[in-house]
Amino acid sequence: MLKLIDAHFEEAIVVALMALMSVLIGVQIFMRYVMGASLSWSEELARYFFIWMTYVGVAYAVRMDAHIRVTMATDLLSPSGRLFVRILTHVIFGAFALFVMYQGWWMVEKTFRFGQKSASLGIPMGLIYLAPFSGFLLTVLRLFQSIVLDLRGVRQGSMS
């Protein structure tokens, strides 16, 4: 069960959010052009799903080792040099993610304290501002996992 969660956690969230977002947009199109009445809340909710999907997608890309990179310089290094650079980039990315988490948590706390609500749905905006914090928390966990796997030599073939 843990392997299943490890392998598909972010993927399941991203797929579910994408599906819900697509359904919401489809319903909005149907309501606007067929029924002649627009839903006031569907676009807002789809936007919030997209925000969450983006931040969870960052962690998913780390899990799949799919972030864009330029390998021209690292291809010239020895395998141990590539490993060092790869771990260094993970550490730098992790530091950035921790910074975003810190700033994000500050924003979430402030938003909940002031009781800010969304325009159409009336949901607390703190739930939306929680997306960067949560996404980058998952990212930090996946970066740590990636570093451990790299040090164990599990990903030897993907060091380019």
Coil, strand or helix at 5: helix
Token reading at 76: 């010239």
Amino acid type, 97: A
pLDDT surpassing 50 at residue 85? yes
* Domain residue ranges of the chain, discontinuous segments joined by +: 2-158
Who's near 107: CB < 8 A, 6+ residues apart? 129, 132
> Tell me, what's the pLDDT at 69?
87
Q: How far is CA 15 from the centre of its chain?
A: 12
Model pLDDT for residues 16-68, shown as the tens digit of each residue: 999 999 999 999 999 999 999 989 899 999 999 999 999 999 999 999 999 98
**Short-list 139, 142, 144, 125, CA closest to 51:** 125
User: How open is the CA angle 90-50-92, to the nearest 5 degrees?
Assistant: 10
Band the pLDDT of 150: cuts 50, 70, 90: very high
160 band by pLDDT with thresholds 50, 70 and 90:
very low
Check residue 2 and give its pLDDT: 73
Amino acid 139: pLDDT:
98
Based on DSSP, count helices (H) and strands (E) in the chain, helices before strands: 4, 0
Position 4 scores a pLDDT of: 80
How much is the pLDDT for 115? 96
Q: Are 138 and 10 in contact (CB under 8 A)?
A: yes
If one compares 19 and 1, the residue with the highest pLDDT of the two is: 19
Q: What is the pTM of this model?
A: 0.88
How far apart CA 40 and CA 93 sit, in angstroms, is: 38
